[in-house]
């Protein structure tokens, strides 16, 4: 019995054979696992299954109708390997992996320091786009200081401003797959880490200060040391400075959350430290938690040596974690689960394979595309998915990949693909609006710091700034008048005066900028910084005019309703178009890669309904089914958006000449395959029974199938 | 109930509502404590009582509501600025002149004037007030509505037990609890439950046809793969179709309210939110939060606070009066709170800055004895001089009113122990 099985397995392997020697090595190792456990591998995946899976896995979207046709028709025996390479080279890869890493890094653009958030997002996209090796990315994140107009990588520290200790726990969890957060407050109850270990580790990153380093350190500039600060001259200056502080505050405000300074600050133990190895409030020196020491080489700072230690192939967990994470991305499950809770007793489900993958990652020099290319080219990856999921606690022997529901972003990007066609050319573009604003901030910063403080104070005084006494008096007077009016019950008049007050106050803010930058400088700043939103694509900022058109069915309905009354028909058309603009029209206009939308999307957005992470905690995305998802696909605007004549999908369907060809195109667009014989029968009956609405019925129905949302 | 549900027998209806509630609306049929809860927690209050409140309507003043210009009346002080003070329906209780309508309901209200927070920034203060824990980047703590659902399940099986009406996407929601106890979030009170209405151009028969066609076309795929995720996906469709036809959907529909109710509560989003809150509670939702923003008055405090107060005053007074009239105030606790107060000293922009050191909140109904002021500040409202209340104590008081066990430990998935209101001590003297 056993012999036969082994024989079958061997023939199954030799049946197609992987394209790369490293891929073949994976297949060889996994075949031993099947043999040992008396298992049959899953059948090889058909072209249709492979096609949809590789698109979603690499570029995070389903293929377009043209892409699907081209691949299915091709007789090139290397077509799979070629497609893998083509997709890995596309910007869709960066968009897809951006969503993944943004969830891991908790990257937010909807928070304080929004511009730094956008710069951080742009940094991550560009790193993925140029395929920066993972170790180099991590080093850059750990060591970058300065301003966000110079590098968005400072977003790594800015994300957790004022929470350096928490930030360290996240850093260790994300890059080293180890949870030490408990040890922040007391020795770890389930692992070996002591609170002292935690503080030793935190001492490496604690100097990266995201609170200092912005604004106008005028005082220290005027009097660099303590002694100088006491001189009568310095004190006079300080008084002077006070008299213009409103203007300075107003101007500095925009520079908040834009820079990180590298300092030599060290963490102190908490005041209630209860262990005997040190006293409360004692400063703690850096020391690594495992592996070799992170001693500073000549020319290296503390954080440099830490980054070198973290990303070294010698580090016992760094390589392992990323190798396992990317394996899980491709296969649906890690060889180590969970991926970020490793302890000394953790053993992979297949040690030989894990060891090989770890070695492979190091050999590929942390080139994630090269590593993924090996996995995608394995026979194992190119098999049918297992027909059953893996129960909690059960070991999976990888007889093929596991089936997965698309992530929220993959669903959204697939919808965008159906509407716009191949969306990869426009993906992961830098956020130009944010860049423009950041440039303006950079200029503001330089101008302020290049000016002599005395001159600056004199300039502000001369032009009045935010402190203009006349204006402040006027504001006070109007406020009092408004209060009196309100007391007398004259609410409307009071409200009118209140509006004037707020307008005046806005004026004094602008005056502060004029005083500091000069009238021309302030105007330029206003133009560059204030105008235009940063949400860019799909947001309020720059949005293409929405093209909407009513379907023929809708037009027919309206005509019937109006019954020849042209005016009424026009009104009805207008209303319908307005509704369209708000509903499916908004989907069409916003059909942009999720990676290029705000991170995360606001609550209630389709992305959030389908489980996009709120990016508050690490890997917080969910693929769980919930009723709002069904409601969104049944009653939300997506179905109408796909059926709208402007969508790429509809154009292809409309171009098909026969009804059967139309149905085939619908299947190809939504499921990347042709209908089966059985389905063709169902479709014929739909066409017979429903005539005019048949097409819309089938599209809406397929959109709501498990087969659309899940990837085999 | 509609025909479909009326036809089905009791058991299957129960099954349906419980599953629907679980997957859709953030509720579960039974308290979700199985195997999780643990022994009492050191330092946590052992105070327990039979719940005096079944429901909570929690009005959150986002941005930091000035205590001096609202509930902490300090007549005759410089700190009060230009604000006059008015008598209320409660003996000896004064209010800011900005709240004339609320003044008529003060016999139902307990003011707490000695509340203090440790957090002086918005995000941190807001999070602390909502969770009793400080904001961390390694964990997200649950909000009160989620704790309540966790401990007590829900009231109406087909509605969520907690709803948040806000535009703030940072609400902590379920925190580290499972998504099933997450409050349902509504950003626009007027638009009801998202995507619950059929597309305009489809008849009910059209949609039914498409749903059944979808199942036919998906049948082969679903029979091939035995995955829990896929089965769950199938279930949500049955439930989605039922909820669209359910009577309970009307709980979300403000059009069902007569014009005079809209008139009474007001037209602003916050005011409509108050009306929706009353409606939801009436239908069995137990914890409803409504947010009113715009309180961050660094500039022109005395221009902007009265504007905000006008909304609060109308919404709050309408709510208290309406609940009272319907006999619902007895078991509905109404809370008005915020992340911190504002500086007693008026700054040179006629504004007030952040002030966590002491501020005010109110509690009404749900077993609270009205007409009282708890805690005291010095003249001018700079610091608490009597009965200082920390944020966790305030939250423990809400939990106490709901009858939640303050000392019951729940472990996060990272195996860290937490209690509702983080060891706060409830202000039991406010009740009765």
Higher confidence at residue A155 or residue A426? A155
Q: Does A58 score more than 50 pLDDT?
A: yes
Which of B20-29, B243-252, B415-424 is the least confident region? B20-29
Query: Which backbone phi and psi does A15 adopt, to 5 degrees?
Result: -60, -40
Q: Residue A177, SS3? A: coil
Q: Does B17 score more than 70 pLDDT?
A: no
pLDDT-derived band at A537, boundaries 50, 70, 90: very low
**A704 contacts on B by Cβ (under 8 Å):** 210-211, 214, 237
Q: Does B35 score more than 90 pLDDT?
A: no
User: How long, in residues, is chain B?
Assistant: 432
Rounded Cα distance between A508 and A469, Å, is 11
**B218 contacts on A by Cβ (under 8 Å):** 705-707
What local confidence, expressed as pLDDT, does residue A458 receive?
85
Higher confidence at residue A455 or residue A575? A455
**DSSP tag of B256:** G
Q: Does A7 score more than 80 pLDDT?
A: no
pLDDT-derived band at A499, boundaries 50, 70, 90: confident
Mean pLDDT along residues A563-574:
82
What local confidence, expressed as pLDDT, does residue B153 receive?
84
Q: pLDDT of B269-310, one tens digit each?
A: 999 999 999 999 999 999 999 999 999 998 889 999 999 999
Give B49-192+253-404's CATH code, choosing from 3.30.390.10, 3.40.190.10, 3.40.980.10, 3.40.720.10.
Answer: 3.40.720.10
- As a whole number of Å, the CA-based R_g of chain B is 23
Residue A430 to residues A123, A441, A535: CA-CA distances in angstroms? 9, 17, 12
pLDDT-derived band at B354, boundaries 50, 70, 90: very high
**DSSP tag of B369:** P
Q: Does B200 score more than 90 pLDDT?
A: no
**DSSP tag of A465:** G
Mean pLDDT along residues A394-421:
96
Rounded Cα distance between A233 and A182, Å, is 51
Of chain A, the percentage scoring pLDDT greater than 70 comes to 92
Tokens of A79: 């077509």
Q: Which of B136, B194, B218 sits opposite A166 (nearest CB)?
A: B136
Tokens of B403: 């009858």
How many CB atoms are located within 10 Å of the residue A164 CB?
Answer: 19
| Pairing assessment for the beta strands B162-165 and B184-186 based on DSSP bridges | parallel
CB atoms B226 and A166 under 8 Å: no
What local confidence, expressed as pLDDT, does residue A16 receive?
57
pLDDT-derived band at A1, boundaries 50, 70, 90: very low
The model's pTM: 0.85
Class of the A552-711 domain?
A: mainly alpha
CB atoms B306 and A190 under 8 Å: no
> Contact, A598 vs A614, CB < 8 A?
no
Helix axes A232-243, A245-253, angle to 10 degrees: 70
Higher confidence at residue B148 or residue A537? B148
CB atoms B195 and A628 under 8 Å: yes
| Pairing assessment for the beta strands B55-61 and B332-338 based on DSSP bridges | parallel
Mean pLDDT along residues B337-345:
97
Tokens of A681: 């029968």
What local confidence, expressed as pLDDT, does residue A542 receive?
34
What local confidence, expressed as pLDDT, does residue A154 receive?
96
SS (H, E, C) B268-299: CHHHHHHHHHHHHHHCCCCEEEEEECCCCCCC
Mean pLDDT along residues A91-105:
97
What local confidence, expressed as pLDDT, does residue A553 receive?
65
Q: Does B409 score more than 70 pLDDT?
A: yes
**A679 contacts on B by Cβ (under 8 Å):** 217
ipTM score assigned to the predicted complex:
0.87
pLDDT-derived band at B80, boundaries 50, 70, 90: very high
Of chain A, the percentage scoring pLDDT greater than 90 comes to 61
Which of A130-139, A539-548, B48-57, B143-152 is the least confident region? A539-548
| Pairing assessment for the beta strands A404-405 and B376-377 based on DSSP bridges | unpaired
Higher confidence at residue A688 or residue B246? A688
Mean pLDDT of chain A: 88
**B227 contacts on A by Cβ (under 8 Å):** 388-389, 403, 710
Min Cα–Cα distance to chain B from A623, Å: 8
pLDDT-derived band at A586, boundaries 50, 70, 90: confident
Q: pLDDT of A131-168, one tens digit each?
A: 999 999 999 999 999 999 999 999 999 999 888 999 99
Rounded Cα distance between B225 and B231, Å, is 9
Rounded Cα distance between B187 and A305, Å, is 48
> Contact, A517 vs A429, CB < 8 A?
no
**B135 contacts on A by Cβ (under 8 Å):** 163
- Within 13 Å of residue A331, how many CA atoms lie on the same side as its CB? 27
Mean pLDDT along residues A40-49:
97
Task: Give the CA dihedral A89, A95, A99, A101, nearest 10 degrees.
Answer: 50
- Domain positions in chain A are 108-310, 432-530, 552-711
Of chain B, the percentage scoring pLDDT greater than 70 comes to 89
CB atoms A701 and B350 under 8 Å: no
Rounded Cα distance between A66 and A71, Å, is 9
pLDDT-derived band at A280, boundaries 50, 70, 90: very high
> Contact, A575 vs A562, CB < 8 A?
no
CB atoms A635 and B24 under 8 Å: no
pLDDT-derived band at A236, boundaries 50, 70, 90: confident
Mean pLDDT along residues B52-59:
97
């Amino acid at each position: 019995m056993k012999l036969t099985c082994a024989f079958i397995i061997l023939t199954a392997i030799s049946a197609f054979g992987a394209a790369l020697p490293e891929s073949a090595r994976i297949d060889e190792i996994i075949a031993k696992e099947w043999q040992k456990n008396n298992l049959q591998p899953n059948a090889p995946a058909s072209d249709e299954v492979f096609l949809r899976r590789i698109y979603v896995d690499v570029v995070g979207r389903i293929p377009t109708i043209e892409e699907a046709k081209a691949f299915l028709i091709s007789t090139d025996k290397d077509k799979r390997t070629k497609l893998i390479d083509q997709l890995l080279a596309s910007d869709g890869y960066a968009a897809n992996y951006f969503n993944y890493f943004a969830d891991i890094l908790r990257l937010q653009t909807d928070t304080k320091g929004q511009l730094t958030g956008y710069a951080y997002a742009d940094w991550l996209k560009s790193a993925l786009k140029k395929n920066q090796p993972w170790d180099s990315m991590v080093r850059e994140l750990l060591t970058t200081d300065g301003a966000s107009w110079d590098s968005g990588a400072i977003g790594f520290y800015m994300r957790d401003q004022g929470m350096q200790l928490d930030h360290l726990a996240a850093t260790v969890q994300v890059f080293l797959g180890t949870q030490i957060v408990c040890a922040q407050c007391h020795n770890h109850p389930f692992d070996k880490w002591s609170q002292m270990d935690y503080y030793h580790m935190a001492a490496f990153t604690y100097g990266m200060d995201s609170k200092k380093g912005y604004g106008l350190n005028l005082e220290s500039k005027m009097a660099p040391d303590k002694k100088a600060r006491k001189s009568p001259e310095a004190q006079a200056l300080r008084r002077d400075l006070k008299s213009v502080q409103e203007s300075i505050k107003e101007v500095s405000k925009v520079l908040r959350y834009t820079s990180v300074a590298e300092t030599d600050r060290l963490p102190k133990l908490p005041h209630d430290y209860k262990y005997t190895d040190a006293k409360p409030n004692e400063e703690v020196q850096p020391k690594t938690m495992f592996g070799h020491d992170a001693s500073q080489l000549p020319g290296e700072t503390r954080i440099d040596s830490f980054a070198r230690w973290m990303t070294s192939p010698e580090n016992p967990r760094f390589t392992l974690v990323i190798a396992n994470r990317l394996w899980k991305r491709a296969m649906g499950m890690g060889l180590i689960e969970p991926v970020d809770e490793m302890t000394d007793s953790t053993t992979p489900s297949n040690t030989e394979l894990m060891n090989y993958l770890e070695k492979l990652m190091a050999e590929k020099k942390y080139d994630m595309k090269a590593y993924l290319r090996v996995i995608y080219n394995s026979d194992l990856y190119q098999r049918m998915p297992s027909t059953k999921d893996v129960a909690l606690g059960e070991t999976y022997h990888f007889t093929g990949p596991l089936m997965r529901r698309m992530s929220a972003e993959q669903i959204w990007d697939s919808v965008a693909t159906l509407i716009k066609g191949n969306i990869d050319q426009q993906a992961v573009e830098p956020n130009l609006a944010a860049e423009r604003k950041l440039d303006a901030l950079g200029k503001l910063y330089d101008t302020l710091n290049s000016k002599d403080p005395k001159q600056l104070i004199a300039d502000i005084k001369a032009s009045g700034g935010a402190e203009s006494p006349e204006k402040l008096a006027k504001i006070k007077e109007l406020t009092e008048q408004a209060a009196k009016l309100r007391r007398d019950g004259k609410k409307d008049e009071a409200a009118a005066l209140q509006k004037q007050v707020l307008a005046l106050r806005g004026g004094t803010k602008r005056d502060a900028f004029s005083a500091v930058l000069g009238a021309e400088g302030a105007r330029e700043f206003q133009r560059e910084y204030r105008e235009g939103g940063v949400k860019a694509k799909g947001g309020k900022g720059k949005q293409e005019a929405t093209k909407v058109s009513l379907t023929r069915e809708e037009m027919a309905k309206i005509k019937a309703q109006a019954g020849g009354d042209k005016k009424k028909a026009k009104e009805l058309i207008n209303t319908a178009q307005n509704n369209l603009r708000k509903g499916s029209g908004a989907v069409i206009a916003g059909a942009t890669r999720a990676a290029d939308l705000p991170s995360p999307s606001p609550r209630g957005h389709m992305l959030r309904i389908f489980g996009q992470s709120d990016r508050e905690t690490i890997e917080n995305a969910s693929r769980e089914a919930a009723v709002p998802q069904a409601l969104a696909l049944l009653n939300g605007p997506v179905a109408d958006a796909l059926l709208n004549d402007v969508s790429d999908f509809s154009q292809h369907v409309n171009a098909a000449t026969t009804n059967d060809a139309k149905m085939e195109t619908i299947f190809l667009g939504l499921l990347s395959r042709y209908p089966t014989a059985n389905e063709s029968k169902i479709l014929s009956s739909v066409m017979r029974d429903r005539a005019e609405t048949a097409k819309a019925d089938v599209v809406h129905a397929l959109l709501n199938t498990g087969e659309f949302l899940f990837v085999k | 109930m509609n025909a479909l549900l009326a036809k089905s027998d009791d058991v299957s209806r129960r099954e349906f509502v419980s599953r629907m509630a679980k997957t859709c609306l953030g509720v579960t049929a039974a308290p979700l404590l199985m195997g999780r809860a643990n022994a009492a927690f050191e330092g946590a209050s052992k105070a327990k009582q039979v719940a005096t409140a079944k429901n909570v309507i929690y009005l959150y003043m986002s941005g930091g509501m000035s205590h001096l210009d609202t509930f902490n009346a300090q007549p005759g002080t410089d700190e009060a600025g230009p604000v006059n003070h008015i008598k209320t329906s409660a003996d000896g209780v004064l209010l800011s002149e900005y709240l004339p309508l609320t003044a008529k309901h003060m016999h139902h209200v307990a003011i707490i004037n000695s509340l203090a927070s440790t957090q002086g920034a918005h995000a941190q203060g807001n999070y602390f007030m909502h969770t009793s824990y400080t904001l961390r980047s390694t964990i997200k703590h649950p909000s009160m509505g989620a704790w309540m659902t966790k401990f007590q399940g829900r009231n109406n099986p087909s509605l969520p037990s907690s709803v948040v009406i806000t535009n703030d996407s940072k609400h902590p929601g379920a925190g580290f609890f499972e998504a099933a106890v997450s409050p349902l979030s509504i950003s626009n009170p007027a638009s009801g439950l998202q995507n619950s209405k059929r597309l305009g151009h489809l008849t009910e028969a059209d949609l039914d046809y498409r749903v059944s066609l979808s199942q036919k076309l998906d049948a082969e795929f679903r029979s091939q793969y035995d995955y829990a995720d896929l089965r769950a996906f199938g279930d949500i469709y049955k439930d989605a179709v039922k909820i669209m036809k359910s009577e309970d959907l009307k709980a979300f529909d403000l059009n069902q309210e007569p014009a005079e109710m809209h008139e009474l509560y007001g037209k602003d989003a916050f005011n409509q939110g108050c009306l929706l809150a009353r409606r939801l509670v009436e239908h069995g939702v137990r914890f409803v939060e409504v947010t009113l923003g715009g309180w961050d008055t660094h500039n022109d405090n005395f221009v902007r606070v009265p504007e905000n107060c006008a909304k609060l005053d109308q919404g709050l007074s309408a709510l208290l009066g309406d609940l009272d009239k319907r006999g619902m105030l007895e078991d509905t606790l109404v809370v008005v709170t915020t992340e911190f107060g504002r500086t007693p000293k008026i700054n040179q922009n006629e504004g007030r800055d952040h002030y966590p050191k002491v501020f005010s909140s109110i509690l009404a109904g749900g077993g609270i004895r009205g007409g009282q002021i708890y805690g005291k500040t010095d003249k001018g409202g700079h610091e608490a001089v009597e009965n200082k209340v920390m944020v966790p104590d305030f939250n423990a008081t809400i939990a106490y009113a709901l009858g939640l066990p303050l000392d019951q430990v729940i472990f996060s998935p990272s195996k860290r122990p937490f209690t509702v209101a983080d060891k706060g001590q409830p202000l039991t003297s406010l009740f009765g």
